[in-house]
Amino acid sequence: MATFRCSFLLLLAASACHSPRPVAPGPLPRAAYAHYLAGKVALYTDDTDGAIRELQAARAAAPEQPMVSIELAKALVKAKRLPDAQQVLAATRHDWPEHPEVALAWAQVLEKRRDAAAAGAYRRAIELSPGDEQAYLGLARVQPAREAEGTLKQLVARVPASVDGHYRLAQKTLDRGDLTGGERELRAVLEHDPDHIDARVELARTLRKQGKLAEAIAQMRSAFDRAGQPLDVAEELFWLLAEADDLQGAIDLLTLLDDDRSDPDALATIARLEIQLGRLDVASQIAKHLDGELGKLVTLAIEVGQRDLPAVERDAQGFTQYADQARSLLYEARLEAGHTAEARALAKPDEVIAVARATDDKQAALALIEPVVRAHPDNVIALNLIGYLLADTKQRLRDADVYLRRARKLSPGDPAVLDSLGWLLYQQGDTKAAAQVLAHAQRFAPLEPEILVHLAAASGRKELLDQAAAMHPSPDLSRRIDDLRKVIR
């Protein structure tokens, strides 16, 4: 028995000699802790040089402490000294080969250096700490999409409360077109973090794409309120309300935003949307509160809405900061007045869409725009233009339908797209549906005479032609109005 016990103790001693060093050493000595704390504070205040200096002192005072080396490596990464960070961690890995946080820091540095070994390093970090959220997220970042999705699924199975895991999994799922799966993961994000604004906005977009418009609006409105009413979310909410044909809701939203708390750029955006709704008097009041070029730009946009080409020609001059925006407004004014050659002269050579819009020959315009659509299938302006041209010339109506429905999916509530889609329905012989869509477009773009002309054709309402004629339409549109008067009884 005594011999057995002695042998057993010897085995234990031998085993201890070959076991890995403990992951949790004792606390930092006082001198090292002072430098460590000073380094952390410096890193927090973006004083990377000071952080590196203090953390190097802490490491010299306590070389046996792996967390000091990890923080030093982070400071070196922040200072873009990646080779130095890698050197620090290489030595630390030698001393602490099974420390999970050392393994994770090593993988993160390799990722920063775009080293192909990063994936293996992240897998090692997961092996050492199977519940480490950051290790899974890092591995997913360096993997191809399909593998990354599998890694993220492993993460949320292991750590169900991982907000980042569910959110990134939602992104991967949506990227491959799985709206239902994406919705499920986004709801999981919000279950654990109701104030995750990006997830709530993305959920609203996903719901809209699935035809759940009322719920999409509710989610976007919640994002708007929770985020403190930011303008970018407000504008998305505006267009969802437009898609839902909720004109009063859209007006109420703009009224809410138009207050003393809004900065000049926000007020200019609100004015642009008010002009879209035909509320030129409200936009004019906003312009009075804007100084310099921004106020002049809003005034110029109002003049475009009024179809006052002489005023636009006069007031579009002299811009510096907003020269491109002023040029675009002058282009629109000339185009709406039927001065296509003058409008085309404003387009730069690479602005193919602008050139195509200002081309009188519709077949030539189609030839210009089709390559743009092939190269940029998510360009709403190009999709709308090609869809309208095909509908107006009564050719390839199925293609037109595909283009315009994609444009509507990408840009909900856009009255220009609704107008084109309504005109396509009219050309297909579905006058009832055409009239409904065109009436929707007209409510959100009441200053567009072409929409009124299309609506008159679809609905047979002759009085709409009188309204369109009073809006100073282009010569071509005036001829169309005269032709329709002879048809509509």
Tokens of 436: 């409904």
Number of structural domains found in the chain: 1
Q: Read off the pLDDT band of 39 (50, 70, 90).
A: confident
CB-based contact 427:397 (threshold 8 Å)? yes
**Predicted model pTM:** 0.85
**316 belongs to a structural domain:** yes
**55 belongs to a structural domain:** no
Concatenated DSSP letters for 292-346?
Answer: HHHHHHHHHHHHHHTT-HHHHHHHTTT-STTHHHHHHHHHHHHHHTT-HHHHHHH
CB-based contact 383:403 (threshold 8 Å)? yes
**384 belongs to a structural domain:** no
Average pLDDT over residues 27-35: 81
Q: Read off the pLDDT band of 34 (50, 70, 90).
A: confident
**40 or 420, greater pLDDT:** 420
317: alpha, beta or left? (left if phi > 0; alpha if psi -120 to 50): beta
**315 belongs to a structural domain:** yes
- How many CA atoms lie less than 13 Å away from 390 in the CB half-sphere? 23
CB-based contact 172:148 (threshold 8 Å)? yes
Q: What pLDDT, on the 0 to 100 scale, is given for residue 38? A: 87
Among residues of the chain, what percentage have pLDDT more than 90?
80
**306 belongs to a structural domain:** yes
Rounded CA-CA distance 423/458 in Å is: 8
Q: Which domain holds residue 306?
A: 262-346
Average pLDDT over residues 116-120: 94
Nearest to 28 by CA among 57, 68, 72: 68
Rounded CA-CA distance 70/93 in Å is: 10
- Site of tokens 């005594």: 2
Rounded CA-CA distance 124/135 in Å is: 9
Average pLDDT over residues 464-486: 93
Nearest to 293 by CA among 316, 270, 266, 261: 316
User: What dihedral angle (degrees, nearest 10) is formed by the CA atoms of 155, 159, 160, 166?
Assistant: -40
Rounded CA-CA distance 30/328 in Å is: 66
Composition of the chain by helix, strand, coil, percent to 5: 75, 0, 25
CB-based contact 71:39 (threshold 8 Å)? yes
Per-residue pLDDT reduced to its tens digit, 336-364: 999 999 999 999 888 999 999 999 999 99
**220 belongs to a structural domain:** no
**308 belongs to a structural domain:** yes
Instruction: Work out the mean pLDDT of the chain and round it to a whole number.
Output: 91
CB-based contact 425:392 (threshold 8 Å)? no
